[in-house]
């Protein structure tokens, strides 16, 4: 039966570790073989020369030839092992070959104690005895990873001398024999302990490598899963936003037409439902950005009162519709301009104020703006049903709603406050909830911001133009969706603009080359030539002309995932408007790029 590696190497831990440990032990045997073999051959030559006078030439040369023969075989075996491409799979086979050659080699060293002793010279006998002991100790280090191999080698090398000296019957023989036996026991114990340490070190190394591989695999899988989720959300968002833009756009146009009371109420419900669906989509995309670590802030100087007014102007009518008092108070010591991310501030305020109005049936909603230790503090208070103390922390968790255990009605996705808090923390602050003395709630939003010394300066747009100053301005709408085209064209006409449609990128380039336009509203996802490539080609055409004219191009797209705005600007577009949009949103874009500050629809 072929010898195998020790039972202590039985499979344990993660799969494959035991096999790796076995192979490393076998490889260590062969890697450590050449130097001891060459040293042993040199030393055996010296010993053979020393014992010639006492043992005779034939016995000494015969033993030396035997040593050189099997030493050469061991060297050749080591070379063959390193050249074997299948050596990892054949570890047990190579161990068996090593074991039997080691048995023969150990026996040849053990033969010294019976072949060449007594030599007739006490000094030479002492040298031979020390040689056997030294060879046993040196050989132990080459097989330290296998106790079985070590035990056999030590026994073959030392026990023949032990037996010879004990059997000699003299006092010196007993002393030498017992000394060698104790020495053998010490080396056997060290071989056992060395195997434990050596094997455990190898096992730990491979276990750590396995953990690292598992961690890397989990990271790759997580990245792939995150990328797949992002692609899925981006696709779903785009496909939902496109028809939603038609619904919300048509609702806004109908709201501005002549309707009776019942019709106006019905179309208001449609518009409100479309806005609610848009909010849900935006919340889901923001949560995806938070989870992927792509939620960023972009500080820039902004007008504090104007930023707050943009939010309150939209939400104040909702409060008035519910007969709620709505009040905004600014601390008189506030600087007019600050350095921060105005868009993210508006997003948090819109969420907090919108929640306060939604969950308050009577009384008032109040926003107080004041300086904070490191920036700004916004406190949104309401006279609603309030939130119990045990629920105030839970409401900031994803998909949690205040209706669970409170008097507040359930609405929305339960992501708004989670996103608001994460945005605040990204801006260096936080959002916390406290109770008010009258039973309502107060949400305090703080952020790190710096006042802008000297304010924002004069507006680059100068004084507002007189009414009708933009009448006749030409806008090219590049849109392949018929419903969205109808909505956008109708809105642009209400702004007093002359709008023309192109249904794809090729037609857009043809019209831009043949006609003069003041503004281009560019869809991004179109069959054939998309909006990105269309923009790049037109910018290249403008760069090649000598008059230096540049037509403003605004992306009007349902792509609203992380990085979409940057991608549009990187393609050469000047601005970005996500679908579905409100009429005032489109109006702001028109103002910004046609040089006007107000156009009445």
Q: How many helices (H) and strands (E) does the chain have?
A: 17, 13
Residue 341's SS3 state is coil
Strand residue runs (E) in 200-342: 300-303, 325-330, 337-340
> Hey, what are 273's tokens?
């439902």
Reduce the DSSP state of residue 588 to 3 states and report it: helix
What's the topology of domain 474-594? Rossmann fold (3.40.50)
pLDDT value for 477 = 94
| Residues 404/391, Cβ–Cβ less than 8 Å | yes
Indicate the SS3 state at residue 523: coil
Chain segment 584-594, per-residue pLDDT in tens: 888 888 888 88
Q: Token digits for 452?
A: 């802008």
CATH 3.40.50.1820 fits 299-451, yes or no: no
- What kind and span of H or E run contains 266? helix 261-292
Helix (H) / strand (E) containing 330: strand 325-330
SS3 201: helix
Instruction: Compute the distance between CA of residue 348 and CA of residue 345 in angstroms, rounded to an integer.
Output: 5
Q: How far apart are CA 580 and CA 314, in angstroms?
A: 16
pTM: 0.52
* Strand-pair category, 325-330 with 364-371: parallel
In whole angstroms, give the CA distance from residue 142 to residue 34: 10
* Structural domain boundaries in the chain: 7-217, 299-451, 474-594
Predicted pLDDT at 290? 72
* pLDDT number for residue 470: 59
Q: In the block, which residue shows the tokens 């195997």? A: 195
Check: CB of residue 413 under 8 Å from CB of residue 401. no
**Distance between CA atoms of 527 and 268, rounded to whole angstroms?**
34
Q: Is 159 exposed, middle or buried (0-12, 13-18, 19+ CB in 10 A)?
A: middle
Q: By the 8 A CB rule, do 9 and 21 touch?
A: yes
Q: What is the dihedral of CA 89, 90, 94, 96, to 10 degrees?
A: 120
Q: What was the pLDDT predicted at 496?
A: 87
Residue whose token pair is 């005895």: 129
Give the DSSP letter of residue 116: S
Is the separation of the CB atoms in 180 and 161 below 8 Å? yes
Report pLDDT for 5: 60
Positions in the chain short of pLDDT 70: 1-15, 289, 291-294, 398-414, 455-471, 546, 548, 560-562, 595-601
Task: Give the pLDDT confidence score for residue 546 in this predicted structure.
Answer: 62
């Amino acid at each position: 039966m072929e010898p195998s590696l020790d039972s202590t190497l039985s499979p344990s831990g993660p799969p494959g570790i035991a096999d790796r440990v076995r192979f490393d032990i076998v490889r260590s045997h062969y890697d450590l073989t050449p130097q001891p073999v060459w040293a042993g051959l040199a030393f055996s030559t010296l010993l053979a020369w020393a014992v010639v006078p006492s043992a005779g030439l034939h016995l000494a040369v015969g033993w030396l030839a035997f040593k050189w023969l099997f030493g050469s075989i061991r060297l050749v075996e080591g070379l063959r092992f390193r050249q074997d491409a299948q050596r990892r799979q054949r570890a047990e086979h190579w161990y068996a070959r090593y074991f039997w050659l080691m048995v023969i080699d150990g026996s040849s060293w053990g033969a010294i104690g019976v072949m060449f002793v007594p030599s007739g010279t006490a000094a030479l006998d002492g040298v031979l005895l020390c040689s056997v002991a030294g060879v046993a100790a040196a050989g132990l280090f080459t097989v330290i990873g296998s106790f079985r191999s070590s035990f056999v080698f030590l026994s073959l090398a030392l026990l023949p001398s032990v037996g010879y000296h004990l059997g000699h019957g003299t006092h010196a023989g007993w002393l030498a024999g017992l000394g060698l036996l104790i020495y053998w026991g010490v080396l056997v114990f060290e071989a056992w302990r060395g195997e434990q340490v050596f094997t455990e070190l190898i096992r730990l190394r491979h276990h750590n490598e396995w953990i690292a591989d598992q961690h890397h695999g989990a990271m790759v899988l997580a990245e792939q899963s995150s990328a797949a989720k992002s692609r899925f959300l981006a696709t779903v968002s785009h496909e939902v936003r496109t028809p939603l833009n038609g619904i919300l756009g048509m609702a806004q146009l109908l709201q501005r037409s002549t309707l009776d009371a019942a019709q106006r109420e019905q179309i208001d419900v449609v518009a409100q439902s479309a806005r609610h669906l848009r909010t849900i989509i935006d919340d889901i995309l923001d949560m995806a950005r938070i989870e992927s670590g792509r939620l960023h802030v972009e500080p820039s100087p902004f007008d504090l009162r104007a930023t707050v007014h943009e939010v309150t102007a939209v939400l104040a009518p909702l409060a008035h519709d519910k007969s709620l008092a709505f009040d905004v108070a600014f601390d008189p010591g506030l600087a007019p301009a600050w350095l921060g991310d105005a868009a993210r501030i508006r997003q948090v305020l819109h969420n907090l104020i919108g929640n306060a109005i939604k969950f308050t049936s009577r009384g008032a909603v109040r926003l107080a703006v004041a300086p904070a230790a490191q920036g700004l503090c916004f406190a949104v208070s309401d006279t609603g049903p309030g939130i119990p103390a045990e629920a105030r922390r839970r409401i900031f968790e994803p998909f949690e709603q205040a209706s669970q255990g409170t008097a507040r009605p359930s609405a929305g996705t339960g992501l708004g406050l989670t996103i608001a808090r994460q945005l605040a923390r990204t801006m260096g602050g936080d959002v916390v909830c406290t109770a008010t003395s009258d039973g309502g709630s107060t949400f305090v939003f703080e952020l790190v911001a710096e006042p802008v010394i000297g304010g924002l300066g004069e507006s680059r747009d100068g004084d507002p133009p007189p009414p009708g100053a933009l009448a006749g301005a030409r806008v090219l709408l590049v849109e392949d969706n018929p419903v969205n085209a109808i909505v956008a064209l109708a809105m642009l006409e209400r702004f007093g603009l002359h709008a023309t449609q192109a249904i794809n990128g090729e037609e857009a380039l043809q019209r831009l080359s043949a006609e003069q336009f003041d503004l281009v509203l560019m869809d991004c996802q179109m069959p054939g030539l998309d909006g990105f490539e269309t923009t790049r080609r037109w910018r290249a055409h403008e760069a090649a002309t000598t008059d230096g004219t540049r037509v403003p191009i605004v992306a009007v797209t349902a792509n609203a995932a992380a990085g979409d705005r940057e991608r549009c600007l990187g393609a050469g577009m000047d601005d970005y408007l996500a679908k579905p949009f409100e009429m005032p949103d489109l109006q702001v874009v028109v103002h910004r790029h046609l040089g006007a500050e107000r156009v009445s629809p």
